[in-house]
């Protein structure tokens, strides 16, 4: 039983850290006013920003998938009673992490489209 608790705590800690890093990484696009550099934002800047968001999401998605598989393996090593609870907890953790990654990706891409739309000053 203690082993199951330890595995769940480790999985939860890893999940929280991964989700936090994902949100921070995906929100890396910064909105700036047109007057900051004296140049208007070009479509290629937006495309580059969106590509950065997509690349970051892909990396974080792959990391989450690897963590999920690792956590499933850890759950499989537990007794039958603990295994079921562990797998349920891992499924919930994974779904929450995927939802956070998806929301972060959308927020990042939306920020790309707003860059340069402000009033410099």
Q: Nearest Cα to 98, choosing from 63, 50, 61, 53?
A: 61
Q: Is the pLDDT of residue 107 over 90?
A: yes
Q: What is the pLDDT of residues 11-53, one digit of tens each?
A: 555 555 555 555 545 555 444 444 444 444 455 688 899 999 9
pLDDT value of residue 114: 74
Output the average pLDDT for the chain.
76
Using an 8 Å Cβ cutoff, are 112 and 29 in contact? Answer: yes
Contacts of 40 (CB under 8 A, 6+ apart): 34, 116
Domain boundaries, the chain: 2-16+44-114
DSSP letter at 1 equals -
């Amino acid at each position: 039983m203690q082993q199951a608790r330890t595995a769940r705590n480790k999985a939860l800690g890893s999940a929280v850290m991964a989700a936090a890093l994902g949100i921070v990484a995906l929100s890396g696009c910064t909105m700036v006013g047109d007057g900051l550099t004296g140049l208007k934002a070009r479509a290629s800047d937006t495309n580059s920003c969106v590509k950065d968001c997509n690349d970051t999401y892909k990396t974080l998605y792959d990391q989450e998938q690897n963590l999920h598989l690792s956590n499933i393996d850890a759950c499989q090593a537990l007794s039958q009673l603990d295994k079921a609870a562990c797998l349920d907890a891992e499924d919930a953790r994974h779904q929450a992490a995927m939802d956070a990654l998806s929301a972060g990706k959308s927020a990042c891409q939306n920020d790309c489209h707003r860059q340069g739309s402000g009033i410099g000053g």
